[in-house]
Amino acid sequence: MGSLEGSVAVVTGAGRGLGAAIAKDLAAGGAKVVVNYSRSKEPAEGVVKEIESNGGEAVAVQGDVSDPEQAKSLIDQAVEQYGKIDVLVNNAGITIDKTMKKMTPEDWDKVITVDLNSCFYTFKAAMEHLIESSGRVINISSFVGQAGNFGQANYSAAKAGVIGFTKTAAKEMARSGVTVNAICPGFIETDMFADVPEKVVEERIIPMIPLGRIGQPEDVAKAVRYLVVDGDYITGQTLNVNGGVYI
């Protein structure tokens, strides 16, 4: 792609955390950004205002991308607003952490639907637009999808599925010049991570990380921008942004 100037990016789950950082970073590079949210209307509108205050262009669009019809509506609204889609970042995700002994089928299905199925729904809806622009797709997975984690069977399965989906999508889209890659963050300082007790972070988690710190959302955002701008010959790959917690 070479430059974000004039491009259009759709970022799911962009009202806060990783998605917000990714949206702001892409906008800073010159992209027009569709800031998708499911329930976080005010935070998403806040992201848009921050982008606009820095001279960028963005719009907040509501849509639960775990529903195929709403995922299609998101893509349709993005094209209606900006005329095309060059970049799709599948970031929407949730956790419902329980041991398998306590996990219900509903707990399993909800996480799989939001964290994995949504990637297919948005991708399917955006395929033709991405082909027209020789676009870029970035799917946010997790090191937990590579390593597994106690009490996260549903999340681990979903994020592992994202990696497999990425590889197949990359093979199918290569003939059209569309690249598809995944990013596996480690422990990142977001709202999702905020519930972890400080004592656990200091005594158990940080000692696991060779670089000795929790990652920032901007660490992931920079990796997304790299794959979009400079990743012309990178596809079907998994980029680990994890401080060395899983090698």
In tens, the pLDDT along 11-56 reads: 999 999 999 999 999 999 999 999 999 998 999 999 999 999 999 9
Average pLDDT estimate for 60-70? 98
* Contact (CB, 8 A) for 19 and 86: no
Count Cα neighbours of 170 within 13 Å in the Cβ-side half-sphere: 20
> What is the pLDDT at residue 230?
96
155 is catalytic: yes
Structure tokens given for 172: 């199918």
High-pLDDT (> 90) share of the chain, %? 92
Judge whether residue 222 has pLDDT over 80. Answer: yes
Average pLDDT estimate for 181-200? 86
* Contact (CB, 8 A) for 27 and 54: yes
DSSP class of residue 209 equals -
Widest CA span in the chain: 51
pLDDT tens for 191-209 read 777 777 788 888 889 999 9
Tell me which of 82, 121, 155, 233 is the catalytic residue.
155
Distance CA 195, CA 217 (A): 16
Closest CA to 102 of 154, 143, 66: 154
> What is the pLDDT at residue 198?
82
User: Where do the domains of the chain lie, and which CATH numbers do they carry?
Assistant: 8-237 (3.40.50.720)
Cα Rg of the chain (Å, integer): 17
The mean of the pLDDT values for the chain is: 96
Where residue 141 falls among pLDDT bands split at 50, 70, 90?
very high
Judge whether residue 189 has pLDDT over 80. Answer: yes
N- to C-terminal Cα separation, the chain:
29
